[in-house]
Homo-oligomer: A and B are copies of this chain.
């Protein structure tokens, strides 16, 4: 999941489709790469559970996956807290050091 978010294009896609569902082809027009490349990015995001697709006529609408987004938020807060605490303790260590 970290890996799926490690690509700038994919982060951008996730951010955009969280707003509103956007078709793959419409997404594709926003990037300087082929349709197929964008489609692959969407596939990566989908298999990481970050977005889902819903057929609408001949289009495939991509939307951010609410539950997985909540899961990420949770993960991030957790990381944040652990790190904050470690950082505090690290301050102590620095004082205590030598």
A interface list, Cβ under 8 A from B: 2-3, 5-6, 11, 15, 18-21, 63-64, 66, 69-70, 72-73, 76-77, 79-80, 82-84, 86-87, 89-91, 93
Contacts and interface: CB of A to CB of B under 8 A. Distances in A.
25 contacts: A2-B5, A2-B11, A3-B6, A5-B6, A6-B6, A15-B82, A15-B83, A15-B86, A18-B83, A18-B86, A18-B87, A18-B90, A19-B86, A20-B90, A64-B86, A64-B87, A64-B90, A66-B90, A69-B83, A69-B87, A70-B87, A72-B83, A73-B83, A76-B80, A77-B80
A69 B69 CA distance: 22
Give the number of times this chain occurs in the complex, counting copies.
2
A92 to B, nearest CB: 10
A80 B71 CA distance: 11
A11 B77 CA distance: 15
A82 B72 CA distance: 13
